[in-house]
Structure 1
Amino acid sequence: MIPMVDLKSELELMKEPILNAIKEVVESTSYILGDKGATLEKQIAEYVDAKYGIGVANGTDALLLSLKALGIGAGDEVITTPFTFFASGEVIANVDATPVFVDIDPNTYNIDPQEVKKAVTPKTKAIMIVHIFGQTAKMDSLLEIAKENNLKVIEDACQAIGTEYKGKRIGSIGDIGCFSFFPSKNLGAFGDAGMIVTNSKELYDKVIELRNHGSNIKYNHTTLGFNSRLDEIQAAILLEKLKYLDIFLEARKKIATNYSRELSDIVKTPPIYTTREHTFHQYSIETPYRNELSNYLQQKQISTAIYYPTPLHLQEAFKYLNYQNGKFPVAEFSSENILALPIGPTLTEDHQGYIISCIRDFFDIKINSTSE
């Protein structure tokens, strides 16, 4: 079976230095808030061209602490996309604010600036922009809306480390940016891990306090915080894997180019823009035969995935918001028609060719069966 994400093959490329790094941490007996974490914070901040980086326990906590640091809470509204992983909306509700969903761009699957503009109310305090699948949202338009309405901009860049918008890496473009290092991400740990970046010293100080039980001085707690600290073993692993990140991203782009060249005549493939660099955390095609194609590829020993089968506004947990089916037609259509194909830096040319061949065979069969 060709997996969606081949972590075993990736590990083999860097196994020895990673195991040595883990051993170094184990023998140091410094496991939390040590030198490895501090070094990773500095290197990630430099990588995305931000002044500050703060390691946290996971990507969800990165979003949650960002909202808290911005002072968003009860009575506030945060505009975001319904076409994303659940955490993007969940964290807004968990700070007692109201998630306000708006529809998406049918080409990039990112939040639609025109829909954002229409959704702003006096209660709106922030826009949470999700750079879905490794493709950036239209940042200029969104930043203009934020400026006009005095809104904060949170970048959910959990799927998009290394992605650029007009030459600037995302995460550092808004007020605060959030990354996930979940194992399957383009830069993945061996467990949960996350990072917040910002150019604001004030926000940096607030997050540093919030991630450590609301404390900057041991046993002195100035606010109610959280236990959300990036541990040293995960930091050590990520420091080693960061050395490979740009190489891996280039490999993903090469595979995506191959897919698009061979499949764009039979399915809708991800758009490529000169001003937006796609890093392909997922390579998602769009077809009305999504479920049939997925089943066919499964029979051919090819894994696929559906991101996301139910948009957030139709999730049971958000039933209290009273959104109805049909409210966001583009997001709903995308949820019913998108299929992610295997992509990863170690996906061989033979496997790519086999995947492409099987997809083309499926459509040949489909065309022949409908013409009979």
Structure 2
Amino acid sequence: MDVPFLSLRDVNARHADELKAAVARVIDAGWYILGDELAAFEDEFAAYCGVRHAVGTGNGLDALSLVLRAWREMGELVDGDEVIVPANTFIASFLAISENGLRPVPVEPDPVTFNIDPARIESAIGPRTRVIMPVHLYGQLADMGAIAEIAGRRGLLILEDAAQAHGARLGGTRAGAFGHAAGFSFFPAKNLGALGDGGAVVTDDDQLATYVAALRNYGSEVKYDHPMRGINSRLDEIQAAMLRVKLRYLDADTARRRAIASAYREGIRHPGIVLPSAANESAHAWHLFVVRSRWRDALQQHLGTMGVQTQVHYPVPPHRQHAYAELAGMALPVTEQLHEEVLSLPISPVLTDAQVAHVIAACSACAEAA
């Protein structure tokens, strides 16, 4: 049996008629940028996240970057200020910081949750620290209670990187509503994915939302009047219309992801495979199901021979990338070990029960990782 890591064709085929109707609606309207579909999606996504504002952007990296850019324009940040960020993350989290003239300060993760370790944040705070950027990695909420306590006590801003955490929640609060602002990605493979690139900033801060909305549109609120040096990063009408369709199914898709994750965690029994932890099921949207193994490469090869496609998220941490050569000397052993051991198993709302059972059997039968 073949189990694809992710079939976007199958994911979107479930809503093909609605998606085609949404595109036709935009074509017929004749307005393709900053129109009614985007305004409607921004209202709907803000309501979903439980915040006052959502501002659509061209992609998830721009969403993070525009928040930091807006805080610079508002006088909250200046060149050389520091942003605490998880060492264990995709490089986009770092890029948003450095492209704004700020300095990323990597902090090791909790090896159980993969998320930034709040116990290590305090010692990383220095005189130039201004922001904490927790990443809800793989869809699991970071420890926002502990992070908010530190930020409040030290007078720091919180920018959530929620690119993988659509729908994760703790109590009545969803990802994106814990900090001063959050950045989401709607890359096609995300839990809420467009059929192209897209992103959004969400916030309760009226002033911040106004600045971000202007900065994404060449620094302009009024046509041909540019008080700031902005960029062009606007979620287009067609993507907004399709996201409006898919948002209606997000909670059901998340429930299916949680059911698959539960089946994996109950069914995979192998001494060489460490299963992911979820302290609170509702706080995990299961964008990825990431196991650990000292024999990761052998496990991946075995699963491939069994027809199970897997991926590594991520093979090289940001501080080991050439783009951040200045950080290469940092001692981040937990991060580096994770990047040598992690392997992502298939998890998507279109996996069948038979495919899930096949993944479980294939993992449990792996002699190479014993």
Counterpart of 1:42 in structure 2 is: 43
Give 2:81's match in structure 1, choosing from 61, 70, 76.
76
Amino acid at match of 1:89: F
- Stretches of structure 1 lacking an aligned partner (at least 5 in a row): 368-372
Q: Does 1:65 align with 2:66?
A: yes
Cα deviation, residue 167, structure 1: 3.2
* Cα distance in 1 between the residues matched to 2:369 and 2:47: 50
SS class of match (1:159): coil
Shift of 1:276: 5.5
| Structure 1 residue 348 corresponds to structure 2 residue 348 | no
Q: Secondary structure at the match of 2:188?
A: coil
TM-score for the superposition, normalised by structure 1: 0.95
CA separation of 1:328/1:21 partners in 2, compared to 1, >3 Å: closer, same or farther? Answer: same
- Contact persistence 1:293–1:362 (CA under 8 A): yes
4+ residue runs over 4 A deviation: none
1:310 is displaced (CA, Å) by 0.9
Q: Using the alignment, how far apart are the partners of 2:123 and 2:328 within structure 1?
A: 18
- In 2, Cα distance between the equivalents of 1:221 and 1:111? 38
Which residue of structure 2 aligns with residue 300 of structure 1?
Answer: 306
Q: 1:339 is matched with which residue: 313, 336, 343?
A: 343
Aligned partners of 2:105, 2:250: CA distance in 1, in Å?
34
State the match for 1:90 in structure 2. 95
Q: Where does residue 207 of structure 1 map in the other structure?
A: 212
**Could you say which residue in structure 1 is the equivalent of 2:324?**
318
Q: Secondary structure at the match of 1:130?
A: coil
CA drift at 1:259? 0.2
By how many angstroms is 1:265 displaced?
Answer: 5.0
Task: State the Cα RMSD in Å.
Answer: 1.3
Moved more, 166-175 or 99-108: 166-175
- Which shifted more, 43-52 or 163-172? 163-172
1:165 Cα deviation from its structure 2 partner: 2.4
In 2, distance between residues paired with 1:167 and 1:155? Answer: 17
Q: Give the Å deviation of 1:275.
A: 7.6
2:143 maps to 138
* 3-state SS of 1:129 partner: coil
Q: Residue in 2 aligned with 1:370?
A: none
CA offsets per residue over residues 330-354 of structure 1, 9 Å max, x none?
Answer: 1111101110000000100111111
SS at match of 1:284: strand
Q: Which residue of 2 aligns with 1:116?
A: 121
> Where do residues 112-191 of structure 1 align in structure 2 (5 Å cutoff)?
112-191=117-196
Equivalent residue of 1:88, what SS? helix
Shift of residue 257, structure 1, vs aligned partner: 0.2
User: Paired residue for 1:271, among 256, 267, 277?
Assistant: 277
Q: How many angstroms does 1:366 deviate by? A: 5.1
Identity over aligned residues, as a percent? 38
Instruction: Give the whole-Å Cα distance in 2 for the aligned partners of 1:224 and 1:328.
Output: 37
| 1:194 counterpart residue number | 199
1:176-255 counterparts in 2 under 5 A? 176-255=181-260
Distance 1:107 1:274 in 2: 13
Aligned to 1:340, the other structure's residue is in SS state strand
| Alignment check: 8 A CA contact 2:51 2:202 kept | yes
C-alpha separation in 2, matches of 1:196 and 1:49 = 13
Of 184-193 and 69-78, deviating more is 69-78
Q: Quote the Cα distance in structure 2 between the aligned partners of 1:79 and 1:339.
A: 26
Q: What is the rounded CA distance, in whole Å, between the counterparts of 2:309 and 2:328 in structure 1?
A: 35
- CA deviation profile, 1:197-244 (whole Å, cap 9, x unmatched): 000101111111111111001000011111011100000110111111
Aligned residue type for 1:45: A
Preserved contact between residue 270 and residue 363 of structure 2 (Cα < 8 Å): no
Alpha carbons 2:320, 2:327 under 8 Å: kept? no
Contact conserved, 1:167 with 1:275, CA < 8 A, in 2? Answer: no
Instruction: Report if aligned partners of 1:37, 1:55 keep a CA contact under 8 Å in 2.
Output: yes
8 A contact 2:182–2:203 mirrored in 1 = yes
Query: Does structure 2 retain, via aligned residues, the 8 Å contact 1:165–1:275?
Result: no
SS in 2 for 1:21: helix
Matched, 1:329 2:333: yes
> Mean Cα displacement is larger for which, 220-229 or 2-11?
2-11
1:139/1:165 contact within 8 Å kept: no
Q: How many residues align structurally?
A: 364
Query: CA–CA distance in 1 between the matches of 2:20 and 2:3?
Result: 26
The residue identity in structure 2 corresponding to 1:243 is: R
Shift of 1:166: 3.6
1:357-372 aligned at under 5 Å gives the runs 357-363=361-367, 367=370
Deviation at 1:274, TM superposition (A): 3.2
Which deviates more from structure 2 when the two are superposed, residues 72-81 or residues 243-252?
Answer: 72-81
SS of the residue aligned with 1:136? Answer: coil
1:359: how far off?
A: 1.1
